[in-house]
Amino acid sequence: MAKYTLKINGKPRQIDVDPATPMLWVLRDHLDMPGTKYGCGIAQCGACTVHLNGTAVRSCQLPVSAVGNEEITTIEGLSDNGDHPVQKAWLEHDVAQCGYCQTGQIMTAAALLKINPTPTDEDIEAGMSGNICRCGTYLRIREAVKTAAKN
Amino acid sequence: MENLKTKYNRRSFLKSSALAGGGLMLSASWFASAKAAEKIDALNLPEHWNELTAYIKITPDNVVKILCPNPEFGQNVMTSLPMIIAEELDVDWKNVVVEMGPHDNLKLGPQFTGGSNSVRMYWKPLREAGAAARQMLREAAAQTWSLPLGEITTKAGVLYHPGTKMSGKYGDFAEKAATMPVPKDIKLKEARDFSIVRKSKKNVEGQKIVTGKPLFGLDYRADGMLIAMIQHPPAFGMKLKSFDAAETLKMPGIKDVFSLKLYEDGFEQGGFDTRTFNDLLVTVGKTTWEVMNARKKLQVQWEPIGDTKETMAGRSGKQEVVIPAGLESTTTQMEKMQEYAQKPAQQLRKDGDPEAAFRNAAVVIERTYTAPFLAHNCMEPMNFFADVTPERAVVAGPLQAPGWAEPTLSKLLNLPPEKIEIQMTRMGGGFGRRAYPQFMYEAALISQKMKSPIKLIYSREDDMTYGIYRPMYTATYRAALDANKNLIGFHVNGGGIPENPVHANRFPAGAVDNYLAEGWQIPSNITIGAFRAPRSNFNAAAEQSFLDEVAEAMGKDPIEMRLELLERAAKNPVGKNNDYDAARYAGVLKLVRDKSGWNGGKDGKYSRGVAAYFCHNSYAAHVVDMVTRNGEPYVERVFSAVDCGVVVNPDAAVNMVQGAVVDGIGNAFYGGLVHKDGAVQQTNFDKYRLIRNQEAPKSIEVHFVQNDLDPTGLGEPPFPPVFGAVANALYKTTGKRHYQQPFKSESASS
């Protein structure tokens, strides 16, 4: 076990865990932040996507010991009031069916738009293909990313 | 009504309220620890609600709370079912708060999500509940104002007496209305007067979903809760022999390792109590990661299991079912299916003289189709929370049919049902998988043994390899054509491991003079269950591909050929037990033909495939437009037509049809589970390919047949015909017929 002070959603958070613990489980089990989802544990589905210094990463493959002073943003910290342009676009297009994968989709989309504010259709499809939606809401995900890009 | 004022009970519900029409969040969490972080309720969530029927509560401030009776797994019932109540209650949707109901079959009905049943089974009861409550409010106003009931009208949550211009909000009369007897035989609205139903409403949980609020079973937490995981045998046909947990117990955070039996010998299982493995090897610890790691250190010996007997509750009493021993492999399963397909089968339906028709045919077309086991792969793996004490049990999690699970849970825990509280969390997908409550029983038994609240979690690998799968199927179709290329005989012989897929009374039964349907099954120890449109999801693939081939041999357009058969079935049906309405079936084909501009198998750059199917009392047809992209077949555009009667929430219905199309394309191209010596070979998403964003079509245009018929199924019906349409488009694209699913692995191997 080891003690860490992490910067999560702009606040310092202290934890005492096994250094190999993936951030996914630090967030979910130790910090009670369940918006980041467990889907596969092997970086195949994207449900656990968070931002590490603004870049989308799979928190299931990010050991807590590798985080250091870098800034982690989770869905809980993406916006103060759930009003990030991507979140608003997701509501406008009523994207979700079961909703389980959508926080990961939103985190991937928000990071994508940060590095590429005017993505082409191909950019969106390629950029969002690491996130599986078992309900098949991909068409709405694309439309929501386009709407968010406009705002 | 005995309970005039119902105190808002914080214990018995999931506190998941949100304003339906707006974005305001009410205090909304079962997490004690998360309460402080919640936004303050803008409406001052009232302490007192006046209950008008089991589904409706109204506050003096005119906030209307509607309970959703059915578990939510993405079919959007938390929005559509309350819409039905709000329609007849006549309230402003903006003032509606929706909350998942408690599990209470006596008050809230069957509470079963599956079989595309939610809207169709609740359509009438919920309309009646809304209309009854409206009538009670009118009665209350009539009495208060001393005016005749017949002169009291309502509009959007306000009561009026036009003659005197008196008016008052529902909230002003709710307390009095709650004392009125619930009226019977109330007149319901005419479909033309609907103002909420048929108008798209956003998902009432949308805001919570996009902000990552705890909604799902996996998010459930309680003080002192431990995490449990089960190590299951490496293969079907194996069982636990012995284990050594010394190393595991030394790992940090680990509380206990033990084995327990799910069902004792002779235990009478309910119809959905399918068990994968009966001997559970359980590791319990403080956190998920610790348990995941520690269980890798278990030293376990497994051994083959012999034939086993299960005692199932059947319609006519107890039934002994023998589960055969053996370590099955896909190759031997295929051989066995081929062998069984040659044996005499059980006759399911016979019209005319099919033997003579085939004997006298000028042309006989015979084709055999196969499809593999499929894993459900819900994005949220199976899990359940349980807190069991000698006095009571609280269980919470994602389950499609809590009412079916309760009797077994009661027997397993030796607690009467009234001491059991089942909370229904939002489900991260279901697709049939969560109709089988084994994981809930496991959680409850583990909690009982640990004397602690626990949450059982399946890893993705557990979920995929410890599943209740879509069966493996095959079917051989034969068509007899006379010298004029008329279809004079039709024969299907279908079977599977371990069930027969054939729906003998569906199209083209009823449209062909000489018809024979037969089926067979091979017992297996691989557990199977419902998967989005059970059996139909294979039949539509095979039969609709076959009809495409028959149409070609007849020299006819595939849509026109089907329409001719359907016209025959409508005007002069063969046999009496035809399940489908031939006119409605033809209706979706005509609609998709017109909307897609169908003019045969080509449209510019597109190769086109068409298919239609009837199931769950609804009709769906698709035209799939395929291109070759980077050397691979790609479905770029889809047109869909659906007849499911009244569409309650149109935009959400479109979403569901689009999702079914994407799901169908994905499973048709990639889906499949392979067994080797009983072991599932696909253990996670690196080996089990699911369709991804860039593989989904560019557009899926969805059209509904407009009619005022009572709603029928929607979650499942659009799914099965996707397989057939994809197969038929593939033929037009590649020039080759595809008989074996998944299609992409076949094209890779050939």
Interface check for A119 against chain B (CB to CB < 8 A): the answer is no
Residue of A28, A134, A143 to mutate, interface with B, max B Cβ within 10 Å: A134
Q: Which residue has the higher pLDDT, B470 or B47?
A: B470
Contact A137 B379 (CB under 8 A): no
Structure tokens at B359: 């004997």
pLDDT of B468 over the 80 cut = yes
Would you tell me how many other CB atoms lie within 10 Å of the CB of residue B345?
19
pLDDT reported for residue B697: 98
User: In whole angstroms, what is the distance from residue B81 CA to residue B67 CA?
Assistant: 9
> Taking CA atoms, what residue in B is nearest to A89?
B210
Q: What is the mean pLDDT of chain B?
A: 92
Interface check for B218 against chain A (CB to CB < 8 A): the answer is yes
Contacts of residue A124 in chain B, CB cutoff 8 Å? 693
pLDDT of B24 over the 50 cut = no
Phi-psi group of A138: left, alpha or beta (phi > 0 → left; psi -120 to 50 → alpha; rest → beta): alpha
Q: Are B130 and B69 in contact (CB under 8 A)?
A: no
What is the dihedral sign for C-alpha B502, B503, B504, B510? negative
B316 confidence band (pLDDT: 50, 70, 90): confident
B46 confidence band (pLDDT: 50, 70, 90): low
Structure tokens at B204: 């009432």
User: In whole angstroms, what is the distance from residue B440 CA to residue B419 CA?
Assistant: 16
Contact B696 A35 (CB under 8 A): no
Would you tell me how many other CB atoms lie within 10 Å of the CB of residue B311?
15
Interface check for B684 against chain A (CB to CB < 8 A): the answer is yes
pLDDT reported for residue B5: 36
Q: For tokens 């077994």, name the residue.
A: B408
pLDDT reported for residue B319: 87
Interface check for A100 against chain B (CB to CB < 8 A): the answer is yes
Between positions 262 and 291 of B, the ones with CB within 8 A of A are: 287-290
Q: Which residues contact B129 (CB under 8 A, 6 or more apart)?
A: B53, B54, B55, B56, B85, B88
User: In whole angstroms, what is the distance from residue B539 CA to residue B471 CA?
Assistant: 12
pLDDT reported for residue B12: 28
Q: Are B646 and B197 in contact (CB under 8 A)?
A: yes
Q: Which residues contact B384 (CB under 8 A, 6 or more apart)?
A: B217, B395, B396, B397, B398, B399, B439, B440, B442, B443, B444, B455, B456
Instruction: For chain A, give percent helix, strand, coil, nearest 5.
Output: 40, 20, 45
User: In whole angstroms, what is the distance from residue B667 CA to residue B743 CA?
Assistant: 9
> Taking CA atoms, what residue in A is nearest to B293?
A21
Give one DSSP letter per residue of B125-170, joined into a string: HHHHHHHHHHHHHHHHHHHHHT--GGG-EEETTEEEETTTTEEEEH
ipTM of the complex: 0.99
Going along chain B from its start, the domains and CATH numbers come out as 5-211 (3.30.365.10), 220-310+382-457 (3.30.365.10), 344-374+469-749 (3.30.365.10)
User: In whole angstroms, what is the distance from residue A24 CA to residue A22 CA?
Assistant: 5
- Interchain CB contacts (distance < 8 Å): A and B: 192
Contact A76 B430 (CB under 8 A): no
Residue of A139, A140, A142, A147 to mutate, interface with B, max B Cβ within 10 Å: A139
> Taking CA atoms, what residue in A is nearest to B33?
A32
Which residue among B216, B652, B658 sits closest to A100, beta carbon to beta carbon? B216
Q: Which residues contact B180 (CB under 8 A, 6 or more apart)?
A: B1, B136, B139, B140
Nearest-neighbour CA in chain B from A12: distance (Å): 17
Q: Which residues contact B117 (CB under 8 A, 6 or more apart)?
A: B110, B616, B713
Contact B379 A36 (CB under 8 A): no
Residue of A90, A138, A141, A143 to mutate, interface with B, max B Cβ within 10 Å: A138
Nearest-neighbour CA in chain B from A116: distance (Å): 18
User: In whole angstroms, what is the distance from residue B350 CA to residue B354 CA?
Assistant: 8
Would you give the distance in Å from CA B360 to the centre of its chain? Answer: 44
pLDDT reported for residue B750: 35
Nearest-neighbour CA in chain B from A69: distance (Å): 23
Contacts of residue A49 in chain B, CB cutoff 8 Å? none
Q: For tokens 């309720």, name the residue.
A: B41
**Angle, nearest 10°, between helix axes B170-177 and B118-145?**
90
Question: What mean pLDDT do residues A53-68 have?
Answer: 97
Interface check for A112 against chain B (CB to CB < 8 A): the answer is no
Would you tell me how many other CB atoms lie within 10 Å of the CB of residue B327?
17
B38 confidence band (pLDDT: 50, 70, 90): very low
> Taking CA atoms, what residue in B is nearest to A63?
B289
Measuring CA to CA, which residue among B74, B92, B102, B98 is closest to residue B26? B98
Going along chain A from its start, the domains and CATH numbers come out as 2-77 (3.10.20.30), 85-150 (1.10.150.120)
Strand residues in chain A grouped as ranges (E):
2-8, 11-17, 49-52, 55-58, 71-73
Q: Which residue has the higher pLDDT, B1 or B526?
A: B526
Which residue among A87, A94, A136 sits closest to B651, beta carbon to beta carbon? A94
Contact A34 B651 (CB under 8 A): no
- Provide the 3-class DSSP secondary structure of residue B548: helix
pLDDT of B35 over the 80 cut = no
Interface check for B427 against chain A (CB to CB < 8 A): the answer is yes
Contact B651 A44 (CB under 8 A): no
Q: For tokens 């998902």, name the residue.
A: B203
Between positions 168 and 207 of B, the ones with CB within 8 A of A are: 200, 202-203, 205-207
User: In whole angstroms, what is the distance from residue B727 CA to residue B714 CA?
Assistant: 23
pLDDT reported for residue B669: 98
Lowest mean pLDDT among A104-108, B46-50, B78-82, B130-134: B46-50
Residue type at position B584: R
pLDDT of B634 over the 90 cut = yes
A125 confidence band (pLDDT: 50, 70, 90): very high
User: In whole angstroms, what is the distance from residue B198 CA to residue A13 CA?
Assistant: 48
Burial class (CB in 10 A: 0-12, 13-18, 19+), B341: middle
pLDDT of B626 over the 50 cut = yes
Q: What is the mean pLDDT of chain A?
A: 98
Q: What is the DSSP letter of B666?
A: H
Strand residues in B353-426 grouped as ranges (E):
363-371, 383-388, 393-397, 420-424
Interface check for B444 against chain A (CB to CB < 8 A): the answer is no
Q: Which residues pair with B323 in a beta bridge?
A: B308
Q: For tokens 């909420």, name the residue.
A: B196
Q: Are B379 and B415 in contact (CB under 8 A)?
A: no
> Taking CA atoms, what residue in B is nearest to A38?
B380
Residue of A21, A123, A135, A147 to mutate, interface with B, max B Cβ within 10 Å: A135
pLDDT reported for residue B61: 87
Contacts of residue B663 in chain A, CB cutoff 8 Å? 134-136
Question: What mean pLDDT do residues B284-302 have?
Answer: 98
pLDDT of A36 over the 60 cut = yes
Size (chain B), residues: 750
Q: Which residues pair with B642 in a beta bridge?
A: B620, B704
User: In whole angstroms, what is the distance from residue B670 CA to residue B672 CA?
Assistant: 7
Which residue among B34, B75, B202 sits closest to A32, beta carbon to beta carbon? B34
User: In whole angstroms, what is the distance from residue A48 CA to residue A46 CA?
Assistant: 5
> Taking CA atoms, what residue in A is nearest to B34?
A32
Lowest mean pLDDT among B28-37, B165-174, B531-540: B28-37
Question: What mean pLDDT do residues B68-81 have?
Answer: 97
Buried b (16+ CB within 10 A) or exposed e, A95-116: bbbbbbbbbbbbbbbbbbbeee
pLDDT reported for residue B193: 96
Contact B289 A29 (CB under 8 A): yes
Between positions 17 and 76 of A, the ones with CB within 8 A of B are: 18, 20-22, 25, 28-30, 32-42, 44-45, 47, 74-76
Interface check for B42 against chain A (CB to CB < 8 A): the answer is no
pLDDT reported for residue B11: 30
Contact B379 A98 (CB under 8 A): yes
